[in-house]
Amino acid sequence: MKVILASDHAGLELRQELVAALTARGVAHEDVGPVTRDSVDYPDFAARVSRAVASGEATLGVLVCGTGIGMSIVANKHKGIRAALCTTEFEARMARAHNDANVLCLGQRVVGAGVGRAILEAFLSTAFEGGRHERRVQMIREAESQG
């Protein structure tokens, strides 16, 4: 597994916490920034992570901004991306188990470092269940080509 992470300026500190958690857990990861609190455009960072996940360069992605909303909107514009904005561990588990989510979106202004780490752990440790959910995920894939 390889995880790619990015944020905007409003998600910098939480992203750094998540990078530290991945390092401590021994999970391969790539942190693509930014490196300062200078204002940046979140769509650029969401696109970079989404392209890496969609191409198979990374297995999963993590995006952090102030609320997680903007990142999730942009990520879900990319074919092959199923981004989930999660504020609880339960949402993260269900996003992976039932929706095969491949990008986790978090809001630094919404969840603190401890909750953010717990959500990330739930996201990483939950596998897609397949079965009855596979049909629905296939419907999502089909919807991508209709728009």
Kindly name the residue from 29, 78, 86, 98 that is annotated as catalytic.
98
User: pTM for the complete prediction?
Assistant: 0.97
Is 98 one of the annotated active-site residues of the chain? yes
- Structural domain including 34 reads 3-145
48 marked ligand binding residue: no
Along the 147 residues of the chain, how does pLDDT read in single tens digits? 999 999 999 999 999 999 999 999 999 999 999 999 999 999 999 999 999 999 999 999 999 999 999 999 999 999 999 999 999 999 999 999 999 999 999 999 999 999 999 999 999 999 999 999 999 999 999 988 875
Sheet holding 60-65, edge to edge: 28-31, 2-7, 60-65, 103-107, 83-85
Is 105 one of the annotated active-site residues of the chain? no
41 marked ligand binding residue: no
> CATH code at 131?
3.40.1400.10
Which residues neighbour 114 within 8 Å (Cβ) at sequence distance 6 or greater? none
Residue type, 140: I
136 marked ligand binding residue: yes
Number of domains in the chain: 1
69 marked ligand binding residue: yes
DSSP single-letter state for residue 36: S
Q: Give the number of other CB atoms < 10 A from CB of residue 22.
A: 22
